[in-house]
Amino acid sequence: MKILTVSDKVEKSFFKEHLLREKCQGTHLILACGDLPPYYLEYLVTSLNVPLYYVPGNHDEQPYQSYVTKSSFAKGCTNIDQSVIVFKNLIIGGLAGAFRYKKGKYLYTETQMHRKVLSMIPRLLVNKIKYKRYIDILITHAPPFGIHDEKDLPHRGFKEFLKFMKTYSPVYLIHGHTTPQAGKEITTSWYLSTRVINTNPYRLLEIDDAHIR
């Protein structure tokens, strides 16, 4: 399965629609990891005509963002914060926001992020019974603690994500929030059995469904 993942920065080259379709030909799904304007998400959905699931980032506290937790601010897109969905036998979950460094809608302490994870556990347990696995892909805005994060508090990763990977063993954790420097920063790492990917600003992933199952 081919998946386009995006976060944080609008990729200007994608607005040449023929280049977008050429580069993303055969894409089945779009996953967005936060801090992107609604017009960009709506453009991707319209141009590629595939589902788009997203989580909000810490800068998504804008007038256009509804304060109803799981409502969507981009037409044709689905907010999966604190949710777990199944797409073509691929189990995908989402956790929005970044580490709390000031007051803000999508800023959380470790304790608050733990509570968000707790709300997902019933569905994860059902998946384990039904599909013999908890989850395949977790999309987040912030990275895990110590993996692709930074020293300053606003870009600190969550220790809760390390616990999540240890307990539920997603095949992928895909995040944004931090900015890789070309040639200077690793954008793909491993934590136990999970491949951790920084998608900022975009990645094209080929996922072997048979390997996941």
What is the predicted pLDDT for the residue at 71?
61
pTM comes to: 0.92
CA distance 7 to 196: 15
Residue numbers of the chain with a pLDDT score lower than 70: 62-72, 182-185, 210-213
Look at residues 97, 113, 170, 98 and name the one whose alpha carbon lies nearest to residue 138.
170
What is the predicted pLDDT for the residue at 51?
97
| CATH code at position 10 | 3.60.21.10
- For residue 37, what is the enclosing H or E element? none
Q: What's the number of domains the chain is made of?
A: 1
What is the predicted pLDDT for the residue at 208?
79
Domain housing 147: 2-212
Specify the pairing of strand 202-206 against strand 2-6. antiparallel
Mutual orientation of helices 110-131 and 159-168 as an angle, nearest 10°?
A: 10
What is the predicted pLDDT for the residue at 83?
96
